[in-house]
Structure 1
Amino acid sequence: MAEKGIELTYLIDPAVPSVIRGDRTRLHQILLNLLSNAVKFTEEGEVALRVRVASSPATPGRTHELHFSVRDTGIGIPEGERDRLFESFSQVDASKSREHGGTGLGLSISQQLTEAMGGEMWVESAVGEGSTFHFTIEAEEAEDGDQTDENGVATGSSSAMQGVQVLIVAPNDTTRALLRQQTETWGMEAIVFASGDEALQQLDADRPHEVALIDEHLPQMSGHALATQLRERASGTELPVVLLGAGPAATPDPTAPTSRLHKPIKQSSLHDTLTALLTGRENAGSGQDGDRSGPDSPSRRVLLAEDDAVNRTMTTQLLEKMGHEVHTASDGAEALAAVRDRAYDAILMDVQMPELDGLEATRRLRNKMPSEEQPYVVALTASVTEDDRRRCLEAGMDAFLSKPTRKDELAEALDLGTAPDEARTAAPPPEDRSAPDA
Structure 2
Amino acid sequence: MQDTGIGIPRDKQQLIFEAFAQIDASSTRKFGGTGLGLSISSRLVELMGGQLWLESEEHKGSTFYFSAWFDRHSRSDAEAAAPALIDVKGLPVLIVDDNNINLRVFEEILHHWGMAPTTVDSGEAAIEALQRMAETGGTYSLILLDAMMPIMDGFMVAKMIREDPRLEPVTIMMLSSADRPDDSERCRDLGINLYVRKPVKHSELWHAIQSALGKAESRSAERGPLVLAKPPKLLNILLAEDNPVNQFMAVALLEERGHTVQVANNGQEVLDILQRDRFDLILMDVQMPVMDGFQATEAIRAAEAQTQKHQRIVR
TM-score with structure 1 length normalisation?
A: 0.36
Which structure's residues are more often helix, by fraction? 2
Question: In terms of Rg, which structure is larger?
Answer: 2
Structure possessing the higher relative contact order (Cα contacts under 8 Å, 6 or more residues apart): 2
